[in-house]
Amino acid sequence: MDTYDITVIGAGPGGYIAALKAAELGARVAIVEKGSLGGTCLNLGCIPTKTLYQASQHFATYREYAKILKDPFVRKSDLAQRAFAHAMETKNRVIASLRTQIDRLVKLTSIDVYKGSACLSSRNEVNINGRKKIYARAVIVATGSTPVIPPRFDIDRTRVMTSNEILGLRTLPESILIVGGGYIGCEYATIFSNYGVDITLVELLPKILNTEDDDVVNEVLRSFRKRRVTVHTNTRLDAVDMIGKKLSAVLSNGCSVTADIAFVAVGRSPNTQGLGLDTLGIQLNQQGAIGVNERFRTNRNDVYAIGDVIDRELRLAHVSEQEGIVGIDNILKCTNDGRMRYDVIPTAIFVEPEVASVGKREFQLKKEGIDHVVGKSWYARNAMAQCSGSTTGFVKLIADKTTHKILGGTVVGSHASDMIGTIATAMNADATIRTLAESVWFHPSRPEAIKEAAGAALRKIK
């Protein structure tokens, strides 16, 4: 039987980063993966959607310039179809390129990769496809999650799609019903509306993007209205049927919707089935997620878990990557304090305008009764934003009124996902709002808006 120091089950961002980290530290490592290396993020999530998002932005910009230049070709019906087809081809090339990079990294670090499904058959043993067994001193479960499809939508996977199936579209539909107003639903609403697709978005909660403050959501809603995206909140689907080649839905607010396809984005479920976790007595919560302690160890000393498969809210690739690094540090005892700081992890939503946040939101601090100040600056007053013509949005910083510590920050506008790292880094270093306000920033640049927001917050403290 082949013996390893660490076996990682699942090669998504958390799994392959954990494997690389362990191999670099001298451990003998194996990966068991039934699909392609890179997991959901590379193959079905972050990378393909961001490629499509960028392509759709380019097309939307072209359409705006074509109107200014009175280009007659902008009205041709096949223009969006051709642009979308090119975007899908680009998406496939990007995925293939990044897969090659990961494969090369894994080979260079002498990690053994086993293709197939893994099952924890007994203590320290991993059974692969029911035929081969390998032994590992420690096992990391990093099997990720899959989209949830409510039973009523199990009609026709060519017409009712999740984030897995929609990436296989060959042609643009004329209309899409999107169920779920979280970041996935809103990102796809932005992508397809940029190509002129009619979008109806239905959300059960009182607002879309319910993890963000109202001023952030309002900016996105204004953008959706410009793109003729119809949004129904506080609304459920009472009935869904296929009528010919069209999907027909009745909403709880009395409206009815007809669309070419439905895109369902109501959450994700952890992949824990068939892993043999029950055999080893590994504890799961009611949703089937693996319970771990702050060092990512399960209730068994030899089994760890990271990424979307564990019991936590932030299901993001960069969170999984850091959990993989921290998990390996704990297994190999490289640190005395191998824990995650979830309070300083940035998030981004690729809508129009782009949204990125870190730390606490205003509504959370008000609910918790924490005395704080808010500093805001607007893209419209930023020189680089004016130079680029992208003046929609703002930067908001929140600081503790007593300690001046940065409690949270949000950027709404172009390049928000690039800018949020500055605020996250300051928070990770326990910097105060004064640090950002008194730092010297390049001019002209969008991050100057961070300095302005910090200055606005600091003046309120004084």
Burial profile 261-281: b = 16 or more Cβ within 10 angstroms, e = fewer: bbbbbbebbbbbeebbbeebe
Which two tokens mark 453?
Answer: 């927001």
Residue with tokens 């082949």: 2
Whose tokens are 């600081």? That residue is 399
Structure tokens at 240: 């869904």
Phi-psi region of 68 (alpha: psi -120 to 50; beta: other; left: phi over 0): alpha
CA distance 326 to 324: 6
The dihedral built from the CA positions of residue 330, 332, 337 and 343, taken in this order, carries a sign that is: negative
At how many degrees (to 10) do helices 416-428 and 448-461 cross?
50
Whether cis (ω within 30° of 0) applies to the bond prior to 353 is yes
Active-site positions read: 443
Total residues belonging to the chain: 462
Task: Report the alpha-carbon distance of residue 111 to residue 425 in Å, rounded.
Answer: 32
Please provide residue 303's backbone torsions phi and psi, each rounded to the nearest 5 degrees: -125, 125
Q: What is the CA radius of gyration of the chain?
A: 24
Q: How far apart are CA 341 and CA 462, in angstroms?
A: 30
Pairing label, strands 355-359, 347-349: antiparallel
DSSP at 289: P
SS (H, E, C) 98-142: HHHHHHHHHHHCCCEEEECCEEEEECCEEEECCCEEEEEEEEEEC
Concatenated DSSP letters for 232-278?
Answer: E-S--EEEEEEETTEEEEEETTS-EEEESEEEE-S-EEE--TTS-TT
